[in-house]
Amino acid sequence: MLALGSPTIRVRTSTNCNVLLKELQQIWNDIGESEADQDRMLLELERECLDVYRRKVDEAANAKARLHQSVAAKEAELATLMATLGELNIDSPIQREKRSNSLEQKLASVAPLVEDLRVKKEERMKQFSDIKAQIEKISGEISGYNHLNNAPVSSLTLDEQDLSVRKLTEYQAHLHTLQKEKSDRLHKVLECVNEVHSLCGVLGLDFGQTVSEVDPSLHRTSIEQSTTSAIAHLKA
């Protein structure tokens, strides 16, 4: 049975094709077309229909290929984001059996997860950046007290391929260690300043001039000012 189809919009049903074919044959009979001519024209009509079907098949195949590429790209990005964030236990469409799902269904299920993890990655990156900035700031302050020890600044690098909670915890632990070291150093400085102040009083030396010879930033007109400044540093 010959199936007739519109080259631009729709495909006729078999019933409509049969009706049109009978109408065409009747017209040919009325005209007086020979059976051989009718067979030839039917073959031409069939080739035209096949050309239309072939174009539609090619268009559909190209659309399928593009959609398949989009799904593959989304799934690859999802896998990368999951690995980067250490989110290996989330309910991922990649880890489920999806043979019965169409490509559009796969894309619709993967795309929202990718968007959610993109947002989560940005938030995690901000957390890392904030902690890294604090670490570098305190490391710089510590290296100012001890110019030979600047390892914390040079050894800290942010690996964007590992933004897991485990790595974030390591950064936080590093920050807490530096904060404690800073606090301990400030306490030691305060103790030394107090001791120098006491000795200057005993020896009759000028406290401000004495500490300025060590470090101008230590210059205070009284022990109360030194104590207030040190406490302010501790709270910073």
Domain assignments of the chain as residue spans, ordered by start: 180-236
- Is the pLDDT at 165 greater than 60? The verdict is yes
Alpha-carbon span 34 to 205, nearest angstrom: 132
Average of per-residue pLDDT across 57-68: 95
What was the pLDDT predicted at 10? 47
3-state helix, strand, coil in the chain (%, to 5): 80, 0, 20
Intra-chain end-to-end CA distance of the chain, in Å: 88
Question: Average pLDDT for residues 197-212, to the nearest whole number?
Answer: 79
pLDDT interval class at 217 (50, 70, 90): low
**Residue 13, pLDDT score:** 54
Least confident residue range of 47-51, 161-165, 167-171, 213-217:
213-217
pLDDT tens by residue, 16-25: 778 888 898 8
pLDDT of residue 11 exceeding 70 = no
pLDDT for position 133: 92
Sign of CA dihedral 130, 133, 137, 143: positive
Using an 8 Å Cβ cutoff, are 53 and 5 in contact? Answer: yes
- Going through the chain in order, the beta strands assigned E by DSSP cover none
Q: Where residue 69 falls among pLDDT bands split at 50, 70, 90?
A: very high
pLDDT digits (tens, 9 = 90+) for 126-158: 999 999 999 999 988 888 654 444 444 445 566
